[in-house]
Amino acid sequence: MIKLKQKATPYLLLLPFALIMAFIFAGGLVQAMVQSLGYLPAFGMETITISNYQRVLTNFRFISSLQYTFYIALLSSILSVILGVVAAFLVHKAGKGNKLSFTFLKIPIMIPHIVVIVMIFHIFFQTGILSRIAYNLGIVENAHAFPLLIFDRAGIGIMLVYLYKQIPFVALMVYAISRNIDSKYFQIAENLGASPFHIMTKITMPLLAPTILSGFLFCFAFGFGAFEVPFLLGSPARHTLPILAFIEYSSPVMTDRPAAMAINVIISVISMTLIWLYAKALGILTKRGMEVGM
C-alpha cells in the first residue's frame, strides 16, 4: 500500500496542472471545431456546414502551404536527427568526462527562439556578417550577389533556426541513452567477430531507435506547428499552415474566420495522427530493442 502511494504521488501532484492544460487544449479545440463549421452567432453565422472544409481542402493556397509546411518540417527534422546523432557519438567518443562538449550542446537549447532568429538574421541576411565577409574577400561584388538565405522561398532561414535549436536537443537525448548502454553488448559482439559497422547497425542503432524516433517527432511537431520563426524569417510569397491560418483569421471579412479555424483543426488532426503513428512505431522499435538486449 505504501509503495503504491509512493508511485501515485508524482501523478497526483501533476494532476491539477494536467487538468488545467487538458481543459485549455480541449476547450480551444472544441471552439475551433464549432467555428470551423460556420457557427459564429456573434457575427450572424448560425448555419452548421462543412463547406469551409471543402473550401480549404480544394484551395490551391492551402495545398501549397501544406506541402511547404511538410517540406520544412520533414527536411529540418531529418537533418537535425542525422547531425544530432553524429554529434552525440562524437561527444560520447570524446569521453564521458568531456563536460565542455556537453555544455556546448546545452547552450543553444537555453537560448530563446526569438534571440536565435535575430542572430540568424544578422549572420545570413544579404547585408549580414557573412555577406560582408564575402564582399571584403572579393567573393561577391555587392550585397545583392550574396545568396538569399533569409525571406527565401526555399525556407533556408527558417530551417537554420530549427537546426541550431534541434541538433543539440537530439544530441543530448541520444547521448544520455548511449552512455548508459551496457558495454557487454559490444564486447560480446567483438569477441564473436562483428565489425564496427555490424555493431552499429545491429546493436547500437536498434537500442537507440526509440530515442531517435522521439527526437524526430519532437522536431517535426515543432517545425509543423511553429508560428514565430516562419512569420519572421519566411518568404512573403510562401506561407506555412500556421501563417495561412493567421492571415485568414486576420481578414476583415468575417466569413473568412471559419476557414481559418478549419485550417487549425486540420493542423490538430494531422498532429494527433502523427502522435498515434509515433506510438505504434515506438512500440515496435522498443520491442526490437528489447530483443537485441536479450
Residue 167: the pLDDT is 93
Local confidence band at 99 (pLDDT 50, 70, 90 cut-offs):
low
Residue type, 13: L
Classify each residue of 107-135 as buried b or exposed e, where b means 16 or more C-beta atoms within 10 Å of its C-beta.
ebeeeebeebbebbbeebbbebebbeebb
Least confidently predicted of 117-131, 194-208, 255-269, 278-292: 278-292
Quick: pLDDT tens for 169-188.
Answer: 999 888 888 777 766 766 66
The answer to whether residues 14 and 25 touch, using CB atoms and an 8 Å cutoff, is no
Classify each residue of 191-215 as buried b or exposed e, where b means 16 or more C-beta atoms within 10 Å of its C-beta.
eeebeeeeeeeebbebbbbbbbbbb
Instruction: From residue 78, give the alpha-carbon distance in Å to each of 158, 196, 249, 273.
Output: 15, 24, 31, 19
The whole-angstrom separation of Cα 232 and Cα 114 is 9
Cell 541513452 belongs to 177
The whole-angstrom separation of Cα 123 and Cα 128 is 5
156 has a pLDDT exceeding 60 = yes
- Predicted structure pTM score: 0.82
The answer to whether residues 85 and 171 touch, using CB atoms and an 8 Å cutoff, is yes
Q: What angle do CA 202, 78, 241 make, to 5 degrees?
A: 145
108 has a pLDDT exceeding 90 = no
The answer to whether residues 51 and 38 touch, using CB atoms and an 8 Å cutoff, is yes
Quick: pLDDT tens for 29-57.
Answer: 787 788 888 877 766 777 788 888 888 88
